[in-house]
Structure 1
Amino acid sequence: MTATAGDWAGRPIGDRVVSYTEWDAILYALAVGAPADRLDLVFEDQFRVMPTFGLTLAQWAPDVLATEGAWDNTSVHGSQKLVVHKELPRQGEISMSARVGNVWDKGAASIFEIEVTCEYFTATWSIFAPGTGGWGGERGAKAEPAVREGEGDVLEYNVALNSAALYRLTGDRHHIHIDPAAAARIGQEKPILQGLATIAGALIPLADAAGKHPADLVELEGRFSGMVIPGDHLQIRTWGESFDIERDGTVVIAAGKATFA
């Protein structure tokens, strides 16, 4: 019998112990836009680790599936969810366990859900994989539209010119984020910013607006719907805990939600 995308559902990916130093956590904060005067994010005597740093520590899990051929290089990161159980330590080792959750059949494509769990967080990647659908699986529930009443409040968000180059040093080294020739092959004039860098950078102004520290995050999610270029000026439109991120009036992060303790 020919293997299908649905055969991956529920499959364990493995366990891994990932270590990091306080310098790794500070580099991450700088990469997603923490300014040098935010000592609570970048100074070793005072900082608290941004919870989204855990996503870089857990990136190995979807990478394993890509290496094993679950999808090809046409796949895209569709959405991300992060549920925080407790604050990350400034440095140390974290034991993680990963598995494939649901795999949904969308006809022309499949959506793989990759779940990584540890004592500090649970992270779920949704990977949209063209050309792998049509195997007769369940389509999954249709996403409910987010509640958006009125114009919402607007937060300003500037992406640094070196943001993608810095973020690569935290683990996502795909060439489209640094090499203009690689970006051109996917139809982009310039290298693009990593989606996880975009949503993590938004966490700082979102926390500030809520009167919280980014490390007070309880839950974060969003759907990647457009491209961001380093140097862009973005707007975060908020409705309470819900948000969208816009670039020149086009939504690039949709159905966002950020909840703080």
Structure 2
Amino acid sequence: MSAADWAGRDLGERTIGYDEKDVILYALAVGAQATDLDLVFEDRLRVLPTFGLTLAQWAPDVLAGAGAFDDRAVHGSQTLEVRRPLPRTGALRLSGRVSEVWDKGSAAIFDVIVECEEFTATWSLFAPGLGGFGGERGASRTAPVTRPGGIGAVVRTFPTQAALYRLTGDRHHIHINPEASARIGQPRPILQGLCTLASTTLVLATEQGAHPADLTALQGRFSGPVLPGDTLEVESWPDGDFELRRDGVPVISDGRAVFA
């Protein structure tokens, strides 16, 4: 079966329920502090929009389970468009589908879209060895634009963060088992990309004078690994663009975070 045959594939629907404990656990896992009462205290609770990505993770997992690609596939990039706030508790009716499969020659990129009334999220999954089927390459990255220096800030991860974030749904072994991470060339388990992305939005909200629960749009391309406990540098600009770096090397590029 060619990678191209997965384009347009319906991945089904799921109704996913959650409660305040799930919301609070997620906030703590992505870096909220005990003093952030509106993120960790049920009496004042607001839900981080990126929490919705944990509820939608089933869709790319369904595609992997169906054999579209093997365990060499990696999460290439993520987008999130928020239409309305997530309720503190409840259930979301989510639908998933493969929108496109792009032919990059040595690899294929699967775009998986998950939608509900509250948001639309797109996973781009980079699958080595599945390209060369004669399909369209898709959009190329635009050349970097020289721009004035942005605002610098620090994103601090913590040593147990990947283990804690696993409890929100992403239990891939490379985030907990050194033997699994070694198979992808990492001597230690790495932090989940979506955890890194969500942690960065907390810092960007502060820099923009916004509340992180007021996020309306988010995107980022995962350019390099992050280890739990790393201290990262984020540079951002007034239009919402940002880049996250580890020791000066981008780990999230083409970033954008917009708050209401």
Measure how far apart 1:143 and its partner are.
Answer: 2.4
Any gaps of 5 or more consecutive residues in structure 1? none
Aligned to 1:69: 67
CA distance in 1, matches of 2:15, 2:156: 34
Selected match of 1:237 from 211, 235, 238? 235
Cα distance per residue 1:54-112 (max 9 Å; x no partner): 00000000000000000100111000000000000001000011110011111111110
Aligned to 2:120: 122
CA distance in 1, matches of 2:251, 2:128: 20
CA distance in 1, matches of 2:63, 2:39: 32
Where does 1:139-218 land on structure 2 (aligned, <5 Å)?
139-145=137-143, 147-218=145-216
Aligned to 2:256: 257
* Superposition CA RMSD, Å: 1.0
**Is contact 1:148–1:239 with CA below 8 Å preserved after alignment?**
no
CA distance in 1, matches of 2:41, 2:147: 39
CA distance in 2, matches of 1:86, 1:38: 22
Measure how far apart 1:11 and its partner are.
Answer: 1.1
Measure how far apart 1:183 and its partner are.
Answer: 1.6
CA distance in 1, matches of 2:6, 2:56: 19
CA distance in 2, matches of 1:144, 1:135: 24
Identity of aligned residues (%): 59
Kindly report structure 1 stretches of 4+ aligned residues shifted beyond 4 Å: none
CA distance in 2, matches of 1:110, 1:242: 27
Aligned to 1:18: 16
CA distance in 1, matches of 2:119, 2:146: 28
TM-score (norm 2): 0.97
CA distance in 2, matches of 1:146, 1:46: 42
Measure how far apart 1:146 and its partner are.
Answer: 5.4
CA distance in 2, matches of 1:260, 1:201: 15
Cα distance per residue 1:98-148 (max 9 Å; x no partner): 110011111111110000000000000000011111111111121224545
Equivalenced residues, count? 259
CA distance in 2, matches of 1:245, 1:67: 31
Aligned to 1:35: 33
CA distance in 2, matches of 1:146, 1:80: 19
Cα distance per residue 1:148-206 (max 9 Å; x no partner): 51221101111011110100000011111111222222221211100000000001011
**Is contact 1:146–1:255 with CA below 8 Å preserved after alignment?**
no
Any gaps of 5 or more consecutive residues in structure 2? none
